[in-house]
Structure 1
């Protein structure tokens, strides 16, 4: 249970480099031109030269990174972390994530954007976040309410899965870990034994666990990561 629980969101824990400071959350990625202004510009230009450009013309810059972010969120939100998606839908998510990798900032583990609170909105292995609580049998007894990951400078991660057991008993599983940058994209997280809180009771169980993951994309809205076993995670920044 400890290993499964720690895999939680650990696969996308984005490591803060020791040189990174938390005070800056500004992205280094340039914001793409909006569709409306861009196409109005194209229309004015085409009217002058007597040419026309179709909206579907692949040469038209459609602000691709933002479009891809919107696309992947539309596919994974309200999917219970990916549980309700069919095989073809998981494939579509993977394709969009692959495309987004092209726009990832350099050295993402050093980006201050990694800090803050994130909702775990998708995993290609839907039972990985939350471990046994999210397995087919676990979901019979435990209804997941929230899956949250908080990244705190300089090197702390806190994962939380809150649930309702049998429909009326509230509880949560907590994990605290330390981050270490392995290179510009890969990080390692070592988690303490998980804590389980149910009603007024709290106890620790299991042992330490370790995970490694690659940060494949990050911006002001989402964070993507791939675990050492290939699982894809999508995080959305909490408002």
Structure 2
């Protein structure tokens, strides 16, 4: 049907509106006009782009809030912790993958820990020598989806032994238990070199009790750059990707 409009009419992309009446030309038929497919697609892409930019801003703000706190491992103030975990919760609400365990290829590869609510304080820190001469370096996690295995590597340096470098490696297996959750089983742990093992030997059980991943873990946010998880002990973890499968 032909729709006649006056020159004074203003056309909206998805409907037809007339801003004022015209005495010389009448609008004979008023009918909803569907948005052309190209226009609707453009609007949809614009909305997706807006959401994407919003998530990017959230991740940037979260990274900035984590600067200078050493992943939170030695504690942060209550106010700072509350602000960080509020930002994490906002990011989790925008999780683009609602059933992460259906897309485990997304977690394949190596990740670096940015933040954890696990903390080593007081006597624990003193017993492990982390207050004075042993320094915590990077926390890395490598996930092999084909083998259902994960390796957590905690790196250390020891100033009292000529800046000796070493690492604790904790290996675990996992099975999918829900659309968001995996159950984790501790397999084994190793410390290299021997000098570092000797430093931790007396308090090795304490060290493992802090970093042992056994239990369950929910993947609450995952994209190509960042991952958030929560475990059965009430801890939250934020990690960033360092490599994709098949890359060095």
Which has the greater radius of gyration?
Answer: 2
1:186 aligns with 2:181: yes
Q: Who is 1:176 aligned against?
A: 171
Distance in 1 between the 2:78 and 2:197 partners?
38
Q: 1:226 aligns with which of 226, 230, 235?
A: 230
The structural deviation recorded for 1:221 is 1.1
Q: Which of 116, 123, 135 is 1:123 aligned to?
A: 116
Q: Give CA deviations for 1:196-226 in whole Å, capped at 9, x if unaligned.
A: 1125787997699722111110111110011
SS state of the match for residue 33, structure 1?
Answer: helix
Structure 2 unaligned residues grouped into runs of 5+: 1-45, 244-248
2:53 and 2:139 mapped to 1: Cα distance? 30
Q: Secondary structure of the residue that 2:125 maps to in structure 1?
A: coil
Q: Does 1:160 align with 2:176?
A: no
* TM-score between both structures, scaled by the size of structure 1: 0.66
In the aligned structure 2, how far is the partner of 1:218 from the partner of 1:77?
21
Which consecutive aligned stretches of 4+ in structure 1 deviate over 4 angstroms post-superposition?
Answer: 199-209
From 122, 125, 135, give the equivalent of 1:136.
125
Provide TM-score, normalisation by structure 2: 0.63
Per chain length, whose mean CA-contact separation is higher, i.e. which structure has more relative contact order (CA < 8 Å, sep 6+)?
A: 1
Question: Per the alignment, do residues 201 and 85 of structure 1 end up closer, same or farther by CA in structure 2, a change over 3 Å counting?
Answer: closer
Aligned partners of 1:117 and 1:232: how far apart in 2? 18
1:238 aligns with 2:229: no
Bigger shift: residues 82-91 or 117-126: 82-91
Q: After superposition, what is the alpha-carbon deviation per residue over 1:126-154, rounded to whole angstroms, capped at 9, x for unaligned?
A: 339xxx9x942231232011110001122
Cα displacement (A) at 1:162 = 0.9
The match for 1:80 is: 70
Contact 2:172 2:188 (C-alpha < 8 Å) held by counterparts? no
